Structure 1
Amino acid sequence: MGSVRADRRTELGLRRNWAQFLLLVAVNALVGGTLGQERTVLPLLAEEIFGVGLYTAALAYIFAFGLAKAAGNYCAGVLSDRWGRKPVLVAGWLAAVPVPAMLMFGQAWGWIVAANAVLGISQGLTWSTTVVMKMDLVGPQQRGLAMGLNEAAGYLGVAGTALATGYIAAHHGLRPGPFLLGAAYIAIGLGLSVLAVRETRHHAAAEAGSGHWSAPGSTAGSLSSRQVFMLTTFRDRTLSSVSQAGLVNNLNDGLAWGLFPILFAAAGLGVAQVGLLVAAYPAVWGAGQLVTGVLSDRYGRRKLIVGGMMVQAVGLALVAAGGRFGLWLAAMILLGAGTAMAYPALLAAIGDVAHPQWRASAVGIYRLWRDGGFAAGAVLSGVAADAFGIPAAVAVVAVLTALSGLLVAVRMPARRIP
């Protein structure tokens, strides 16, 4: 992996790098918005415009998105370590440019699936890079806070755009209006990334030279891509625990994205109510991370991860049992709260263990597995829903989420935060 020499003036910490940090927060809100343009509208497009009958077929776009984003995450980590963070961020925005047009004008369901594969690559490159850049800037002491702010911005972007596109779709139709908003986000995000975002790899070099790190299996912190993959996936108890929990977390998010709007609409709710429910989950998820990231700095990552997975399981169980707007709204709030507890703690735990020289690669591998959960969720929930109905599919995922939390409790060691 490549290396870079830190400038003597390079300083770590949120206070010292606040302007660039807040710029990256804004950029990630736009990244989230490009995903949020789909959350309310695409499941309804599948059913109402393209007449896709089977749930398994309808969820093909989430499967394509998950696989492509997982690959994009991995590439973002490896390329960020080799070439720097900013080029990868800009490449991610460039990849997103054709997506709104494909969604607006695609005349077959295959075009929608293809658009989601392209969007997945873009999301993997952009979101992973903003995560790594914030880790670079803040150093070890405020990593949970940094991840909370990053993920809050991204998922509030998802929520706000899901709500806005639901309103646009209710008043102006499912196409093209909702996707014009996504096109605007891409133009602004690309412009900011090219003109205003600065490279942060030298901050990671400064942290690596601080003398506070001892990497698993390597005192120098220099590992091959294969070694990092094996550590993150299997060998290190913290990294592997986090990777499986991330996969299950996004497995249930894939379920929520693909099937919840259909479930709510089938119960007689209007598009605006469906949009409100769909938006409530990422809104609570996003806003909650402003608090939970700091709590993970104070009380440790494992407690937040285990508790978050259990709260998500309860929320999913309520979705399976519910049949009216009020109960579903409570379930969405619980699901969002549980995800908010786990999400920034999972990312911060990677930063706690991974040496700065290979941290971007470890983040990319974690996010490879985490966003592979979208693909796993699309297949599992689609097959289960076709065979037994949507409530049964939700119940299955609720059980898997609880089991994942128990595995973290047993396998992941309590660890002092650097």
Structure 2
Amino acid sequence: MPSPNAPSLPPSTGVRLGLRANWQQFILLVIVNAFVGGMVGLERSIVPLLGQRAFGLASTTAVLSFIMSFGMVKALANLFAGGLSDRVGRKGVLVIGWLVGLPVPLLIIFATSWGWVVFANVLLGINQGLCWSTTVIMKIDLVGPARRGLAMGLNEAAGYGAVSLAAIAAGYLAATYALRPQPFLPGIGFALAGLLLSLVLVRESHGHARHEATLLAQTTGQTETGAQRTTDSSADHPSFKDIFLLTSWKNRTLFGVSQAGLVNNLNDGLAWGLFPLFFAAGGLSIAQIGLLAGIYPGVWGTAQLVTGALSDRLGRKGMIVGGMLLQGIAIGLLPLMHGFAWWVVAMVLLGLGTALVYPTLLAAISDVAHPQWRASAVGVYRLWRDSGYVIGALLAGILADLLGVTWAIGVIGALTFLSGVLAQAVMSETLPRLQYIQS
């Protein structure tokens, strides 16, 4: 629920929606999000091995504790970022996120115990939650309804393309030098660059959301999507409790989106924490592990340049369902195959499945939520989505300790497939049929 003290930018000041009208700020936010992705990418191929080899952790659950701390804090930071962005604006939240992220690489470089690494990932979770959520919200603000899928595809492509490149670079640096400090040195530059760009060049976008809300109100209560979005004034200013319940459970489509997001990041937590250990047990070198850790987000990031825009034409539901089913199949195939080349195939399929889902889920949330409370709805969705890291790391660790890594991978693959089946059963198509703003 917006505060009367929030920064205002009335339509009379010349605010325009659309990618073309706001391309400079949009590109700047794409670059900022690339630095956000680079921060987390440095960890994806190295930190699980660091836990085993540098700190002597024998339990898989203990090794994956850094993902649990990251996911729990990031989920809560997403919720905080969405609500705060609706109340006080976007830019300040973005800057705070970068300030919190500055110490992360230094803490890992100088860590004398595993607790330091876990604490570094608490800060990283806050950084990722505040910064990534805010860049998503700001891009949605700028482009309006007609190109949401494209906007989210570009945003996620930049973020996860950077995750991929950073993971590959960290694997190369670790293979060439050591597990510390060289792989984490680029993180210092990422954090400083993201902070400076956000402070100096990024502009507040809250006024664009208000402008869209004004234009939406002029449609005199017409329903915009199959998910029953309405312009009735009572829907414009729901309480946070109502937003939380709508996004989490009451609206069947938003529930379908939220559960798919949770399971998507549940299997991403598996990929981040368990795949490096699985590949190492299969005899691969650190450089090969780093390459595999980079291929999955690399395909995911690159393909989103197509899938996000495609959802603006074909619709959201089919791509979400198909993407979850493909992810489940790819994960299930992984323990059935052996060797670097076959594992590359599995990682490519997993990346393609994730690319179908990731920008489309955000676009679907934006289709349904009213502009006045959209940032809060995105925050609630991202709360559930990133809770998947916690659940995935905990489930994968327990299953791996009790039954072995192969069983852990197989169970999570099955859960991912079932999530696609559930999305098919409960979701409605959300692609806007009434384009009240031309972008």
TM-score range, shorter chain: over 0.9
In the alignment, does 2:385 pair up with 1:381?
Answer: no
**Tell me, what secondary structure is at the counterpart of 2:254?**
helix
CA distance in 2, matches of 1:311, 1:410: 17
Partner of 1:187: 192
Matches within 5 A, 1:262-341: 262-341=277-356
Q: Which residue is equivalent to 1:219?
A: 232
- Aligned counterpart, 2:11: 7
Query: Partners of 2:3 and 2:336 in 1: how far apart?
Result: 52
Is the 8 Å Cα contact of residues 318 and 327 (structure 1) preserved in structure 2? no
Please give the alpha-carbon distance, in whole angstroms, between the structure 2 residues aligned to 1:174 and 1:45.
7
Match status 1:157 vs 2:157: no
Please tell me whether the aligned partners of residues 305 and 341 of structure 1 are also in contact (alpha carbons under 8 angstroms). yes
Find the residue that maps to 1:39 and give its secondary structure: coil
Give the aligned partner of residue 351 of structure 1: 366
Q: Distance between the aligned counterparts of 1:216 and 1:301, measured in 2?
A: 15
Listed as ranges, the gaps of 5+ residues in structure 2 are 435-439
Is structure 2 residue 251 aligned with structure 1 residue 236? yes
Instruction: Show the counterpart of 2:58.
Output: 53
- Tell me the CA shift for residue 217 of structure 1: 7.6
Note the C-alpha offset of 1:6.
2.2
Partner SS, residue 38 of structure 1: coil
- 2:45 maps to which residue? 40
Cα deviation code 1:133-153 (max 9, x no counterpart): 000000000000000000000
Q: Deviations over 1:336-379 (max 9, x none)?
A: 00000000000000000000100000000000000000000011
* Partner SS for 2:42: helix
Structure 1 unpaired stretches of 5+: none
Amino acid at match of 2:316: R
2:416 is aligned to: 401
Distance of 1:86 and 1:92 partners within structure 2? 10
The answer for the alignment partner of 1:67 in structure 2 is: 72
Decide which of 90, 109, 117 is 1:112's aligned counterpart.
Answer: 117
In structure 2, which of residues 131, 134, 139 is the aligned counterpart of residue 129 of structure 1? 134
Alignment partners' CA distance in 2, 1:5 and 1:177? 45
Q: Is the 8 A contact 1:77 1:365 kept in 2?
A: yes
Which residue of the other structure, out of 32, 39, 47, is the alignment partner of 1:27? 32
The structural deviation recorded for 1:239 is 1.1
Instruction: Tell me whether 1:196 sits opposite 2:201 in the alignment.
Output: yes
Q: Is the 8 A contact 1:144 1:348 kept in 2?
A: yes
Aligned-pair distance for 1:392? 0.8
Q: Distance in 2 between matches of 1:349 and 1:111?
A: 38
Task: Using the TM superposition, name which of 391-400 and 204-213 deviates more.
Answer: 204-213
1:7, distance to aligned residue in structure 2 (A)? 3.4
Report the RMSD for the aligned CA atoms in angstroms: 1.1
Secondary structure of the equivalent of 2:55? coil
> TM-score w.r.t. structure 1 length?
0.98
Counterpart position of 2:437? none
Q: CA deviation at 1:160?
A: 0.3
Equivalent AA in structure 1 for residue 252 of structure 2: R
The aligned length equals 418
**Which one-letter code corresponds to 1:244 in the other structure?**
Q
1:96 maps to 2:101: yes
Pair 1:141 & 2:142 matched = no
Amino acid across the alignment from 1:225? F
Equivalent AA in structure 2 for residue 375 of structure 1:
V
What secondary structure sits across from 1:87 in the alignment? Answer: helix
Following TM superposition, by how much is the alpha carbon of 1:391 offset from its aligned partner in structure 2, in angstroms?
A: 1.2
- C-alpha separation in 2, matches of 1:6 and 1:137: 14
Q: Which letter does structure 2 place at the counterpart of 1:27?
A: V
Judged with a 3 Å threshold, the aligned counterparts in structure 2 of structure 1 residues 198 and 397 are, in CA distance, closer, same or farther, namely same
Q: Distance in 2 between matches of 1:76 and 1:289?
A: 24
CA distance in 2, matches of 1:386, 1:145: 41
Which aligned runs of 4 or more in structure 1 are off by greater than 6 angstroms? none
Q: Which amino acid in 1 is paired with 2:23?
A: W
Q: Which residue of 2 aligns with 1:175?
A: 180
Question: Percent of aligned pairs with the same residue?
Answer: 55
Q: CA deviation at 1:388?
A: 1.0
Q: CA deviation at 1:128?
A: 0.2
Partner amino acid, structure 1, of 2:232: T
